[in-house]
Chains A and B, each alone.
Chain A
């Protein structure tokens, strides 16, 4: 009888706990660094791995850029976020864009980097912004050319940060994936590659 009462009480506690309402609006929110069952069960690259790799890339890139002689001449050089190409074949474009944004944002938090560099948007994006905000000759409804009015970048002190992301896979179902990220810095006037990295790497095994 005692055990039955204990079981009933236990059952009651479980019922109350199980049926308690969701805790506020954040029910279902998990830490960005937590790997969820959906990620573990999916054949795609884990979101957590992407986050960790972007952190690693940003950290290494910040350290490397602060040691490039061309960017350490006592003035702030201009670096254009150029072309970063996704050649992995498996990372969706939208996720790659988020990956790129994350690295850019992390770089912009680095005082070590910002001491010598000011980052600018690429020309296509800036033209699009100016078109939207300034339109033509001051009247936003005229929708004319917005090209005039920008301060041209001095090509001598301007560099383009371009990069590519690759993947190498092994296994019958691509159980092992190696992701590599290469970057280079090109002088806008001479086209000279003033710096390239030895690719940043991460290996993911399923």
Chain B
């Protein structure tokens, strides 16, 4: 009987260690990207930059650029664009024009790529004159000890006036990911 009890305890211990839901990687998840864009979209919507603008404000033309990745994680280029497009897409584009006198222009990167592919007619977007740029930078710091690893992520979004260099809007979002064990365990 006693042996049975001991065996039962051992099985439990093995199962708990082997089946525990502890993360084994500190890589960015889709959930992290979702939360980042949702938080930033909300912060931009609540910002003084938007609140202070009226239809009479000087025209603001914003060009977005992909996220600059300074983390130790690999963020594919498509996700770097996704992180910006989602925040931009959260804004009511039509109302922005009417109520805030602001609009977005085609990103320089897309324009260059389109021209190189020969898909755009001569003179396309020749009058493109963004007044502001919106971009972001992802940073990370890593600590590891034996089988434990932690990555602290910080993403900074900003809108900069291209004429004066003034930082018109600047917000950060940060979180940590902790993992134990090896990803291939």
User: A: which residues have CB within 8 A of B?
Assistant: 3-4, 7-8, 10-11, 14-15, 17-32, 34, 36-42, 44, 46-47, 50-51, 80, 92, 94-95, 97-98, 101-102, 104-105, 108, 118-123, 125-126, 129-130, 132-135, 138-141, 149-151, 153
Contacts and interface: CB of A to CB of B under 8 A. Distances in A.
Contacts of B25: 28
Contacts of B165: 80, 120-123, 125-126, 150
Contact of A140 (B30, B112, B154): B112
Max count, chain A CB within 10 A of own CB: residue among B112, B152, B160? B152
Interface stretch (B75-83, B87-95, B125-133): B125-133
Interface of B: 1, 4-5, 8-9, 11-12, 15-16, 19-23, 25-26, 29-32, 34-35, 63, 65, 70, 108, 111-112, 115, 125-130, 133, 137, 139-141, 143-146, 148-150, 152, 154, 156, 160, 162-167, 170-172, 174-180
A135 B129 CA distance: 10
Contacts of B112: 140-141
Contact of B29 (A25, A36, A119): A25
Contacts of A150: 163-165
A198 to B, nearest CB: 27
A125 B165 CA distance: 9
28 contacts: A4-B5, A7-B5, A10-B12, A15-B12, A23-B21, A25-B34, A29-B32, A29-B176, A29-B177, A32-B174, A37-B178, A39-B145, A41-B146, A47-B152, A50-B141, A51-B152, A51-B174, A94-B139, A97-B70, A101-B139, A102-B174, A120-B166, A134-B129, A135-B108, A139-B126, A140-B111, A141-B115, A151-B163
Contacts of B9: 7, 11
Contact of B148 (A11, A36, A44): A36
Given A42-B144, A105-B170, A150-B164, A36 B175 contact: no
A32 B111 contact: no
A147 to B, nearest CB: 12
B12 A26 contact: no
A189 B129 CA distance: 31
A132 B177 CA distance: 33
Contacts of A15: 12, 15-16, 19
Given A22-B23, A134-B129, A140-B108, A36 B32 contact: no
B163 A149 contact: yes
Which 4 A-B residue pairings sit nearest by Cβ, starting from the closest?
A41-B145, A28-B23, A25-B31, A98-B139
A36 B16 CA distance: 21
B178 A38 contact: yes
Contacts of A134: 129-130, 162
A2 B16 CA distance: 24
B129 A29 contact: no
